[in-house]
Each structure stands twice: as C-alpha cells, then as structure tokens.
C-alpha cells in the first residue's frame, strides 16, 4: 500500500517492501524585528515569513525489501541537485508548492562482511520552496 511520496521516493508498505517515515515534524515561523525607542517600550514589527520546514526519519533496510544504498543515492541526487520535490502523504499535498532537501544524516545500523549497508536510519530535513523563487 502506497502511503505517499517525496518526489519519486515512495512511502509504502507491502508484503515485499516497507519504506515509510516516522517522527514527522512540520514547523513554521515569522520574521520579527524589534525597534528600540528611547526611554519607552520597544516596538515589534512582523517583516515576513520564513519558509516552512519538515523533518522526518526513514528506516531503510534490506530485510524490509529496500536497498539502503540505492535509496540514499536518490536522496543525495535530490539534495545536491537542488531538486524541488512535491511531498504527498495519503491524498494530501503538503506545502504551497514544493520542498528542497536541506540536509540529511544517516545512522548505519547493520552491515555485511563486505561493508555493504544492510539497514540504516535516515533523518531528512526539508525546506519549503515557493514557486518562482530563485
């Protein structure tokens, strides 16, 4: 069963493959400036919105039907190629347009005798990409 996707990285659960996410966190913020005034209270002013951010973790495991190195290479290609990706979970698209992979970290869990990664946890951080932004 396909749960969603980030670009063409699937989130799915089936008899043959499990590749899904945990610890999904979506955050946003605004930019606020403080104007100091002599002998009175400072004034605050909202000067804009920061791009939203999303963080989540994925377990990639050969024991769950996923080749971790292939999946990690796809993440690297998207991140280093500055590819703006749609994020869909269920039938809902997240964000105003697309997302960039801002960073990732990999925690290797199991390796075979040749040094091939058999399972890992990947933490992915996304930042919102607004259409027309350069």
User: Rg of the chain over CA atoms, in angstroms?
Assistant: 19
pLDDT in the model for residue 20: 87
Q: CA 49, 51, 55 angle in degrees (round to 5)?
A: 140
H runs (alpha helix) in the chain: 68-80
**What digits encode the pLDDT tens for the residues 26-57?**
999 999 999 999 999 999 999 999 999 999 99
Residue 58 backbone phi and psi in degrees, to 5: -130, 135
Looking up tokens 């999946």 gives 71
Give 51-72 pLDDT, tens digit per residue: 999 999 999 999 988 999 999 9
Q: Examine the pLDDT at 133 and tell me if it is beyond 60.
A: no
Which of these, 47, 53, 48, lies nearest to 28 by C-alpha position? 53
pTM score, two decimals?
0.85
The answer to whether 83 and 7 are in contact (CB under 8 A) is yes
Residues 6+ apart with CB under 8 A from 51: 127, 128, 129, 130
Residue 102 has pLDDT above 60, yes or no: yes
């Amino acid at each position: 069963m396909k749960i969603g996707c980030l670009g063409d990285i699937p989130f799915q659960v089936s008899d043959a493959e499990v590749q899904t996410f945990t610890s999904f966190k979506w955050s946003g913020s605004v930019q606020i400036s403080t104007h100091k005034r002599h002998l009175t209270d400072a004034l605050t002013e909202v000067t804009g919105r920061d791009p939203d951010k999303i963080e989540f973790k994925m377990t990639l495991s050969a024991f769950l039907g996923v080749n971790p190195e292939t999946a990690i290479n796809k993440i690297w290609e998207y991140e280093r190629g500055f590819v703006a990706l749609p994020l869909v979970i269920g039938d809902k698209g997240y964000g105003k347009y697309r997302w960039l992979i801002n960073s990732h970290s990999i925690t290797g869990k199991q390796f075979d005798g040749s040094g091939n990664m058999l399972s890992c946890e990947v933490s992915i951080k996304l930042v919102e990409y607004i259409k027309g932004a350069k």
